[in-house]
Structure 1
Amino acid sequence: MKTESSVSNGILHVALSGDLIGSPDTQQLLHSVDEHLGESVMLCAIDLSGVRYINSTGIGVLVSLLTKFRSRGGELVLINPADHPKKMLALTKLNAIFTVAESESAATELLKTPH
């Protein structure tokens, strides 16, 4: 799995590609997000359009990240999940928990709207 992250306008943008299936990739992702949380970033957009496959470990990491942001009063939005991740979110009924946006600009708009 490949992870790219950047912060702009107070939003952590993370783009994932490949398979989200466990260590060491998930540990790298969690570490990267933790570093940005130290910078008091409260909002996160994770682009899943490049993720081909996700298993229960990958789902667990996404839930963990959502919990990290929400417990700090922030929010996390998933962007355009590819077919398999979208099916896994529906199968686990987590599509009712996560906010999903169709594009990065839509995610930014959702995150910037006061809740």
Structure 2
Amino acid sequence: MTTTSTVQNGILYVRLAGDLIGSPDTDQLLESVNQHLGESLNYCAVDLSEVRYINSTGIGVLVSLLTKFRSRGGELVLINPAEHPKKMLALTKLTNIFTVASDEAAARQQLIPAAQ
């Protein structure tokens, strides 16, 4: 799995590609986000459009990230989950917990009102 992250307008954008199934991939993702949390960022958008497969460990990491941001008074939005992650989120009923946006612009619209 590859993880890239950028910060724009106070929002951390994380783009994932490949399979989100456990160490070392999940460790890399958590480390990347934790580095940015030190920058006082409270809002995050995670792009799942290139994630082919996700298992319970990957789902657990997403829930952990959501908890981190919400406990800071922030929010996390998932962007355009690919077919398998979308099925897993529905199967685990996490679509009721996560905000899902169709693209980066929609995610930004979800997060910017929260930031004000």
TM-score (norm 1): 0.98
How many angstroms apart in 1 are the aligned matches of 2:68 and 2:42? Answer: 9
Contact 2:21–2:53 at 8 Å: present in 1 too? yes
Identity in percent: 75
- Counterpart residue identity of residue 90, structure 2: A
Give the secondary-structure state (helix, strand or coil) at the position aligned to 2:40: coil
- Pair 1:9-2:13 in alignment: no
Please show how residues 18-97 of structure 1 align to structure 2 within 5 Å.
18-97=18-97
Name the Cα RMSD after superposition: 0.8
Contact 2:74–2:114 at 8 Å: present in 1 too? no
C-alpha displacement of 1:88: 0.1
How many angstroms apart in 1 are the aligned matches of 2:48 and 2:28? Answer: 16
How many angstroms apart in 2 are the aligned matches of 1:8 and 1:43? Answer: 10
Gaps of at least 5 residues in structure 1 are none
How many angstroms apart in 1 are the aligned matches of 2:44 and 2:75? Answer: 6
Give the secondary-structure state (helix, strand or coil) at the position aligned to 1:113: helix
Q: After TM superposition, what 4+ stretches of structure 1 lie above 3 angstroms from structure 2? A: none
C-alpha displacement of 1:106: 0.3
How many angstroms apart in 1 are the aligned matches of 2:4 and 2:32? Answer: 9
- Counterpart residue identity of residue 91, structure 1: L
C-alpha displacement of 1:113: 1.3
How many angstroms apart in 2 are the aligned matches of 1:83 and 1:29? Answer: 21
Q: How many residues align?
A: 115
